[in-house]
Chain A
Amino acid sequence: AQSVTQLDSQVPVFEEAPVELRCNYSSSVSVYLFWYVQYPNQGLQLLLKYLSGSTLVKGINGFEAEFNKSQTSFHLRKPSVHISDTAEYFCAVSEGSSNTGKLIFGQGTTLQVKP
C-alpha cells in the first residue's frame, strides 16, 4: 500500500528566507508525485508534478522539488518566500498513469511566512 509522510506539520519562516518542505513516500510500484497548495477557504492548486525524466522539477510561484528514488523523497523548496506563500502544502502520490484521479495525500505542512 502507498503512503505519504510529510515530516513537518508546521514550518515558520521569515519573508525572503529559503524554505524546504519535506515529503517521503512508500510504494511498491512506480508512482507519480505531486505537490498541491491550499489557501484558506479554497480548494487545492497544483504546484508541480514528477512523472518521469529529470529529477528536478520546477513549478509555479518559484517552487521546485527534487525526486530522490533511493531515499523515496520528494522535497519542495523555494529560495525566497513571500508573505503570500502562507498556506497549507500537500504532497501526494498516484499509482501509475491511469490512476491520477486517485491521490494519496500526506497530512499537510502549514507554511507560516513572517514579515
Chain B
Amino acid sequence: KAGVTQTPRYLIKTRGQQVTLSCSPISGHRSVSWYQQTPGQGLQFLFEYFSETQRNKGNFPGRFSGRQFSNSRSEMNVSTLELGDSALYLCASSRDISNEKLFFGSGTQLSVL
C-alpha cells in the first residue's frame, strides 16, 4: 500500500511568486491535514480537509489556502511568497476525522529566495 505522496520534493521560488504543493493521501483515506515545519516555529497546523470541505484552519494569513478534490487529493497554495515562508510543508492523511492515527508524507522543502 503506497504511503502519502507529496510533490514536488524540493522547490525554489523567489519573493512575490506563488506556489502550489500537492498531496496524494493513502488510498481510502478521506482526511488530509497540512503542517508547516520551520527551525524557529516548529510544526504548525495549517488546515484540515475532509470530503472536499475545510474543517479546521490554523493561524496563518490568507495567502495560505488549500483545497481537496473528490478523489481526496489535496493541494495547498501560497501566494505572494515571503522569505519567511521557507519551510518543510508536511501533509498527513487519515481514514476519517475521528481516526486518531495520522500518516505523514516526506514533505515538500520550499526555499524562498
Q: Which residues from chain A sit less than 8 Å from chain B, CB to CB?
A: 32, 34, 36, 41-46, 49, 51, 90, 92, 94, 97-108
Q: What is the CB-to-nearest-CB distance from B8 to chain A, in angstroms, rounded to a whole number?
A: 15
Q: Which residue of A lies closest to B33 (CB)?
A: A101
Partner of B43, one of A41, A46, A90, A98: A90
**Cβ contacts A to B, 5 pairs, < 8 Å:** A45-B104, A100-B94, A101-B56, A103-B33, A103-B45
Contact B56–A44 (Cβ < 8 Å): no
Query: How many contacts between A and B, using CB within 8 angstroms?
Result: 68
B: number of interface residues (CB 8 Å): 27
Query: Least Cβ distance of B38 to chain A in Å?
Result: 11
Query: Closest approach, in angstroms, between the C-beta of B106 and any C-beta of chain A?
Result: 5
Q: Whose C-beta in chain A lies nearest to the C-beta of B58? A: A102
A105-B42 in contact given A43-B4, A43-B90, A44-B90 (Cβ < 8 Å): yes
Contact present for B31 and A101 (CB under 8 Å): yes
| Interface residues of chain B: helix, strand, loop or mixed (majority) | strand
Determine whether the beta carbon of A32 is less than 8 Å from that of B104: no
- CB of B22, distance to nearest CB on chain A (Å): 15
| B42-A108 in contact (CB<8A) | yes
CB–CB B106/A43 < 8 A: yes
Smallest Cβ distance from B35 to chain A, in angstroms?
8
* Cβ of B15 under 8 Å from chain A: no
Q: A34-B100, A101-B56, A101-B94 are in contact. List 20 more A-B contacts (CB 8 A).
A: A32-B100, A43-B92, A43-B105, A46-B101, A90-B43, A98-B97, A98-B98, A99-B56, A99-B97, A100-B94, A100-B99, A100-B102, A101-B32, A101-B102, A102-B45, A103-B35, A103-B45, A103-B102, A107-B42, A108-B42
Residue pair B33, A49 in contact (C-beta under 8 Å): no
- Which among A42, A44, A108 has the greatest number of chain B C-beta atoms within 10 A? A44
Say how far A72's CB is from chain B's closest CB, in angstroms.
19
